[in-house]
Amino acid sequence: MSEVAIRTSKTLTPADADAEVVVQGWAQDVRNLGGISFLQLRDRYGIIQITAPRKKTAPEIMEVMASLPRESVVRVIGTAKASAQAKSGVEVLPTRMEVISAAAAPLPMGVIDKVNVEPDTRFNHRFMDLRKPELRAVFEIKSTVLNLIDMYLVDNGFVEVFTPKLVASGAEGGATLFELRYFDKCAYLAQSPQLYKQMLMSTGMDRVFEIGPAFRAEPSDTVRHVSEFISFDGEMAFIESQRDVQKMIEGCTQSVIKGVIEQCDHQLKVLGADVELPKAPYPIIPYEEAVEMVKAEGMKIALGDDLGTEGEKLLGEIMSRQGNDMYWIEEYPEEAKPFYIMEKDGTPYSYSFDLDYKGQEISSGGQREHRYDRLVARMEKKGLDPDSFTFYLEAFKFGMPPHGGWGLGVERFIQKMLDLPNIREAILFPRDRIRLIP
């Protein structure tokens, strides 16, 4: 007895002609035309056409096909036949058909229907939404991005670490902290690994990175804010200046985008996305200059003000006209930056930077204040109580090298790389002010 070969839409080819094969997937579409029935069977990679001519097919299979609800999971055993009509050049004539899991009707939303479905309906039934190949492609690309980040950082001597997500104090301002009960204490969900990655700089582990969830109680309902995102953080000790940090991010983002272009050809096609490698080195725009640039384009802004979404977008347009998709904005006013950023003495500025991609901030970082007294003074200046940060400050008292680092929002990076209209398209189950389910 010949063995039945398991095939997917990727591995079934005209070379299988006349072989007995087994294929399985979701019944995307069934057409019963009297003398012949067609089933479009969808799997991870695409579509397999099942063709059942009445004269050559067992009556019980014709019966199953006549009443098969769309999106049911089906296993088909049959004979592969070369076919000029089937897109892949091959179809399967069924000899057995098993409905493994019948789908209820009506479906909460269509998978192939071209009607515009409201985003809320899509996200409410995300498991069904994600049956669309172009939506799943984003997550295959995201997985490649994370893999490429890992490889680049490990190649550059970084150690991957995991810091607590249940924490006693926040690093990025009280307004966006999620508070929760932790036994008999109050705790928070980590907004970033900031305090921990810095503490690690005093251990001798001089290059660390972390890719993990970060939580922000963001009240703003925008296309680039969510309350849970994946943060890619790095911290490096013994830096000469923030330039060392910028060089690392630049190398990493270049390597990742290049890798996506090389490895995700299929996914990019399915998505209809055209990814271009941003021109490097990325131009560096001092904050003061950035303000002048957007002012010259008519924006009302004064030195010291936040560029805001409007300023970032406008700057993105100016930079895009010059052929630059990625660029740095650096040396922000120290007042606008968190306590851990080093001040640029004798100026109102700081050793800080943002990395913007097509008019949107995707990363920020800088050189840290590693001198204990200066750090405590900066905390006090920001209205923070150093006593609530004792565990962190202690690491600066007993030998802390100069250091710097960054945080990069993985979904914002992917959003811009793939030109997705909303950050939520790069998150399987997004969380925001109104969404906690599914």
Does residue 359 belong to the site contacting ligand AMO (CB under 6 A)?
Answer: no
**Helices H / strands E in the chain, number of each:** 12, 17
**What's the number of CA atoms in the CB half-sphere (13 Å) around residue 80?**
24
Q: How would DSSP label each residue in 97-114?
A: EEEEEPPPSS-SS-SS--
Does residue 170 belong to the site contacting ligand AMO (CB under 6 A)?
Answer: no
Measured from the CB atom, is 152 or 332 closer to ligand AMO?
332
Instruction: Please identify which of the residues 42, 122, 207, 224 carries the catalytic annotation.
Output: 224
Q: Shortest distance, CB of residue 312 to ligand AMO, whole angstroms?
A: 11
Instruction: Pick one of 145, 361, 395, 417: the residue that binds ligand AMO (CB under 6 A).
Output: 361
Strand order from edge to edge, sheet including 179-182? 166-167, 185-189, 179-182
Instruction: Pick one of 407, 414, 418, 430: the residue that binds ligand AMO (CB under 6 A).
Output: 407
Q: Shortest distance, CB of residue 189 to ligand AMO, whole angstroms?
A: 12
SS3 category, 284: strand
Measured from the CB atom, is 267 or 363 closer to ligand AMO?
363
Q: Shortest distance, CB of residue 53 to ligand AMO, whole angstroms?
A: 53
Q: What is the dihedral of CA 215, 356, 316, 350, to 10 degrees?
A: 100
With contact defined as beta carbons under 8 Å apart, do 125 and 108 qualify? Answer: yes
Instruction: Pick one of 172, 250, 288, 425: the residue that binds ligand AMO (CB under 6 A).
Output: 172
Instruction: Pick one of 94, 316, 365, 430: the residue that binds ligand AMO (CB under 6 A).
Output: 365
Instruction: Please identify which of the residues 71, 330, 331, 361 carries the catalytic annotation.
Output: 361
225 is catalytic: yes
Does residue 287 belong to the site contacting ligand AMO (CB under 6 A)?
Answer: no
Give the residues across from 37 on adjacent strands: 32, 52
Does residue 192 belong to the site contacting ligand AMO (CB under 6 A)?
Answer: yes
Residues 209-228 that bind ligand AMO (CB under 6 A): 216, 218, 225-226
Amino acid letter, 433: R
410-417 vs 133-155: helix crossing angle, rounded to 10? 120
Cβ neighbours of 409 (radius 10 Å): 24
Give the residues across from 357 on adjacent strands: 326, 360
**Contacting positions for ligand AMO (CB under 6 A):** 172, 192, 194, 216, 218, 225-226, 229, 231, 233, 361-365, 405-409, 412, 423
